[in-house]
Amino acid sequence: MRIVTNYDRLPPRWTATGADGTPLAGTTVPARTVREFRAQGQHADAVFLVNCDPDLLIRLVLARPFGGLDRPLVASDLVLRRPRGLKGHLLHAVKRPLLARADLYLNFFSDTRGLEEAYGIDPARCRYVPFKVNLAPADAEGPMAEDYVLCFGRSLRDFDTFFAAMERLPFPGAIARVDPAELARHGARLTRPLSSLPPNIAQLPDDGSAAAALNAMFLGKCVIGSQGPGMSDIFTHEVLTVPPQDPAALAAQIAAAWTDTDLRARTAAAGQRFARAAGFEADLVQRILDAVARSYGRA
């Protein structure tokens, strides 16, 4: 198998588990433009993999009728949001049928109801691929400290609800220093000026370690998240969840985790086991290779 892709983490040569359960050897060919994908489309063993780039996926779908691109088209880690505003709904009407034309979708969440409802993507064409810890293995062991309640991340993060919850609590909180404009581009909610945060919220230097829940879980932290895809569909007792955009519920869960040592420790231990099993970049890459090979590989 020849995986033609814009995903630069795949190794040039690899081995995965094929459709019949036997090892399958393959190669990776980098491509970032329609022309580069088309140049590889002549190979019968080629599979196109578009990672985290909806616009490239749309260009490939639009170019398919013109030849050279009639190969299996796999989309991975597409962040597809519900439209907002008049412009968003107009663009959504155009993009929706195109984004639904991939042959296979590799997602880091298992609840695909939103994809089906908003984009018409058939759940039968979706595969759940567990995500990975975004820490270098050498940096993944850190001292255990419980100094504050940390709100972190970028994509679709709800800082507003966190601030509203912390205003109800006496506990210290913190966020990593953020760029509000960048957060807005990634769908996060942060409408307060950084100069008007609750007095119990500190701003800490951002070393990049607090980018994802699995990082915190790997380090033995108790994680609280919003119910929904990527959280309550994946985790059970490994995290604590609350309804989205509910400051009262979030405040109550923070208070419970802060004051109940057994709950906090039990949740953190379960989360750490989950994160350690998820592994690092190489583990995620292998899961992606296996998912593609199981769907399209023949020994």
Determine the pLDDT at residue 210: 63
User: In this predicted model, what pLDDT tens digit does every residue of 217-275 receive, in sequence order?
Assistant: 998 999 999 999 889 999 999 999 999 999 999 999 999 999 999 999 999 999 999 99
294-to-16, 27, 78 alpha-carbon distances in Å: 8, 15, 20
What residues are paired with 174 via a beta bridge? 150, 202
- Please calculate the CA angle 243-235-281 and round it to the nearest 5 degrees: 120
Determine the pLDDT at residue 297: 82
Residue 299 has pLDDT above 60, yes or no: no
Lookup result for tokens 């030849």: 67
Where does CATH 3.40.50.2000 sit in the chain?
137-278
Residue 137: pLDDT band (50, 70, 90) is: low
Q: How many CB atoms lie within 10 A of CB 89?
A: 11
Residue 156: pLDDT band (50, 70, 90) is: confident
For the ranges 8-12, 139-143, 166-170, 281-285, the lowest mean pLDDT is seen at 139-143
Per the model's pLDDT, the better-predicted residue between 48 and 134 turns out to be 48
Closest CA to 284 of 48, 7, 2: 7
Q: What is the mean pLDDT of the chain?
A: 92
What does the chain look like in DSSP terms, one character per residue?
-EEEES-TTS-SEEEEE-TTSSEEEEEEEE--SHHHHHHHTTSTTEEEEEES-HHHHHHHHHHGGGSS--S-EEEES-------HHHHHHHHHHHHHHHTT-SEEEES-S--HHHHHHH---GGGEEE------S-GGG---------EEE--STT-BHHHHHHHHTT--S-EEEE---HHHHHHTT-B--S-GGG--TTEEEE---S--SSHHHHHHTT---EEESSTTTTTT-SSSSEEE-TT-HHHHHHHHHHHHH-HHHHHHHHHHHHHHHHHH--HHHHHHHHHHHHHHHH---
Considering the domain 137-278 in this protein, what is its CATH number? 3.40.50.2000
Closest CA to 292 of 132, 102, 113, 122: 102
Considering the domain 2-132+280-296 in this protein, what is its CATH number? 3.40.50
What order do you get walking across the sheet with 149-151 strand by strand? 149-151, 173-176, 201-204
The residue type of 35 is R
